[in-house]
A and B are shown apart, each in its own frame.
Chain A
Amino acid sequence: MRSDRKISKVQYITLAVFGLLIFLLGWSLLTYTGFIRSFFLPTPTKVLSSIVSLLTEGSLLSDIFASVYRILLGFLLSLVISLPLGITLGVSRKFEAFTEPIIAFIRYIPPSAFIPLAIIWFGIGETEKVVILFLGVAPYLTLLIADIVINTRHELVEAALTLGATGKDIITKVVFPNALPGIWDSFRIMIGAAWTFVIIAEIVGASSGLGHLMIESQRFLRTDNIFAAIVVIGFLGLATDYFFKITYKIFFPWTEKSHA
């Protein structure tokens, strides 16, 4: 545990802003001076104006909605499978022996390897994207959840047993609530991965979405648009991350991580 773990909110924000400013300074120095040609690295203002013009005159908003839609739908589907599967895996060794090899096998195949097959089966519409996302997220999420469940301190289970709890109660009243913060954190990690998979799928074949926007911009040599899309993706990812961190503290004030 780092000794400087506790700093005031003001300090945190100041340092964060400072870090951002340094980054902007470096970027500006490289571009406004012409050291790097604007075709390869546009200036910050150009990227900003591209974002604005893409919003007002282009399809940025609908592309954002398209990518977000795919991520949400794919993630929801993965959740529906991974949560019960992961918990069962963590609780039952027999079930683990039965399913683990298949899950591990799929997990090691990068989802982008499934893209050509998925396009043949489903085309380049929403279904294909959601399938790719599912194949990338579900196996990993299942194993993350299983791991958290397996690591339930056995003393907690034993305490519950000596208080009169039986099998079902142990899972719903001890294992699950104990695992919840870890599971929530797994969501945060896997949504980041989901962003990666969706963008790759959109780059390879799509009619809409941020990845499609980038490849289309490449076709028309609009590097500034490519950067605009990258910045937007970065911000959306950051927002998602903060969402999970903040809700973690609200939902689980009893954990060590939350300063209640």
Chain B
Amino acid sequence: MLELKNVSKTYTQNNQQVEAIKNLNLSVKERELIALVGPSGCGKTTLLKIIAGLISATNGEVILDGKKILNPGKDRGLVFQQFTLFPWLTIKENISFGLDLQNLDDKKKTEIINHYLGVTGLKDFAEFYPKNLSGGMQQRVAIARTLANNPKILLMDEPFGSLDSQTRSQMQEFLTKLWEAEKHTILFITHDVQEAAFLADAVYVLSKRPMEIKNMFSVPFARPRVHTLKHTKEFFEFENKIAQELER
């Protein structure tokens, strides 16, 4: 449902032309969870922003369900690495933000909000402000806020990157469980190979700048996946394969 055709991005920095992305082609099917791994600074965030419509590609096209992408919209939800909850709104109001922009009737809205409050385990925190929540809780709200809006695809830019490793593990479990229950289409960026292998159906390895797709690995592990999977020999070997490709 999402197609990137020969997408490239060049920008000017210090009076020099920098080619960030070179002829990238990618296909994401419905209900797939795809991970993109790449070294830091290779242009992953730029790519995600192009897909989201926040910046435009220099060449090539991004096509969603047959239509060309030119501007941002609710059909492509984006979860950032830094906490981007609206600090002046309560948790409940944050989740409701996208819904309030549409003309839904109140009953439907409450239904959706309550569902996601339950799914994120934050029912007791509905009237709290973001400043009172931990990092993990805030990211859960960010994810809930985006999903409540029913986007066609969920884009995630290293969403667990600023969390400590324990919370990160918990969040990964939370995301897989959520995906297995609701089967959203997700495009997930990370520099953490283990995270990519654990979460995704397929892992794409990206090169350094100018960014291209080096290789693609189909993830062989069955679902549902639990964190104990990470300690198995097979997982470790698969992880290494990807890591080596990354370093090549």
Give A159 to B145 CA distance when docked, in angstroms: 10
Q: Which of B145-200 contact A (CB under 8 A)?
A: 145-146, 149, 151, 155
Minimum CB–CB distance for B131 against chain A, Å:
6
Q: Give a binary string over A169-181; 1 marks a CB under 8 Å from any B CB, 0 the rest.
A: 1000110011010
**Contacts between the two chains (Cβ within 8 Å), count:** 72
Q: Size range of the interface on B? A: 20 to 34
Taking a contact as CB atoms under 8 Å apart, the answer to whether A177 and B88 are in contact is yes
Taking a contact as CB atoms under 8 Å apart, the answer to whether A163 and B88 are in contact is no
Please give the number of chain A residues whose Cβ is less than 8 angstroms from any Cβ of chain B in the complex: 23
Taking a contact as CB atoms under 8 Å apart, the answer to whether B77 and A163 are in contact is yes
Q: Quick check: is A156 within 8 A (CB to CB) of the other chain?
A: yes
Q: Which of A80-103 contact B (CB under 8 A)?
A: none
Q: Quick check: is B41 within 8 A (CB to CB) of the other chain?
A: no
Q: B98: which A residues are within 8 A, CB to CB?
A: 163-164
Taking a contact as CB atoms under 8 Å apart, the answer to whether A162 and B86 are in contact is no
Give A155 to B84 CA distance when docked, in angstroms: 6
Most chain B beta carbons < 10 A, residue from A156, A162, A252, A255: A162
Taking a contact as CB atoms under 8 Å apart, the answer to whether A162 and B88 are in contact is no
Most chain A beta carbons < 10 A, residue from B86, B102, B132: B86
Give A80 to B18 CA distance when docked, in angstroms: 46
Taking a contact as CB atoms under 8 Å apart, the answer to whether B102 and A163 are in contact is no
Minimum CB–CB distance for A237 against chain B, Å:
29
Q: B149: which A residues are within 8 A, CB to CB?
A: 163-164
Q: Which of B49-96 contact A (CB under 8 A)?
A: 49, 52-54, 72-74, 76-78, 80, 82, 84, 86-89
Q: Quick check: is A253 within 8 A (CB to CB) of the other chain?
A: yes
Taking a contact as CB atoms under 8 Å apart, the answer to whether B87 and A162 are in contact is no
Minimum CB–CB distance for A167 against chain B, Å:
11
Q: A255: which B residues are within 8 A, CB to CB?
A: 87, 131
Q: Known contacts A164-B98, A164-B149, A254-B131: does B80 contact A180 (CB below 8 Å)?
A: no
Q: Quick check: is A10 within 8 A (CB to CB) of the other chain?
A: no
8 Å CB contact of A162 from B52, B82, B89, B102:
B52
Q: Quick check: is A256 within 8 A (CB to CB) of the other chain?
A: yes
Taking a contact as CB atoms under 8 Å apart, the answer to whether B82 and A155 are in contact is yes
Taking a contact as CB atoms under 8 Å apart, the answer to whether B102 and A164 are in contact is yes
Q: A165: which B residues are within 8 A, CB to CB?
A: 101
Q: Quick check: is A72 within 8 A (CB to CB) of the other chain?
A: no
Q: A158: which B residues are within 8 A, CB to CB?
A: 49, 52, 54, 72, 78, 80, 84
Q: A252: which B residues are within 8 A, CB to CB?
A: 88
Q: Quick check: is A120 within 8 A (CB to CB) of the other chain?
A: no
Give A252 to B87 CA distance when docked, in angstroms: 10
Q: Quick check: is A160 within 8 A (CB to CB) of the other chain?
A: yes
Q: Quick check: is B129 within 8 A (CB to CB) of the other chain?
A: yes
Give A221 to B137 CA distance when docked, in angstroms: 67
Q: B74: which A residues are within 8 A, CB to CB?
A: 162-164
Give A161 to B130 CA distance when docked, in angstroms: 20
Closest to A156 in B: B84
Q: Quick check: is B97 within 8 A (CB to CB) of the other chain?
A: yes
Q: B52: which A residues are within 8 A, CB to CB?
A: 158, 162
Q: Give a binary string over A239-260; 1 marks a CB under 8 Å from any B CB, 0 the rest.
A: 0000000000000111110001
Give A252 to B102 CA distance when docked, in angstroms: 26
Minimum CB–CB distance for B239 against chain A, Å:
31
Give A169 to B84 CA distance when docked, in angstroms: 17
Closest to B87 in A: A254
A-B contact pairs, 12 of them (CB 8 A): A158-B78, A159-B86, A159-B142, A162-B74, A164-B73, A164-B98, A169-B101, A178-B88, A252-B88, A254-B89, A254-B131, A260-B129
Give 18 new A-B contacts, CB below 8 A, not counting A159-B86, A164-B102.
A153-B84, A158-B84, A160-B86, A160-B97, A162-B54, A162-B74, A163-B98, A163-B101, A163-B145, A163-B146, A163-B149, A164-B101, A164-B149, A165-B101, A169-B101, A252-B88, A254-B131, A256-B131
Interface residues of chain B, those whose CB is within 8 Å of chain A, are: 49, 52-54, 72-74, 76-78, 80, 82, 84, 86-89, 97-98, 101-102, 129-132, 142, 145-146, 149, 151, 155
Interface residues of chain A, those whose CB is within 8 Å of chain B, are: 153, 155-156, 158-165, 169, 173-174, 177-178, 180, 252-256, 260
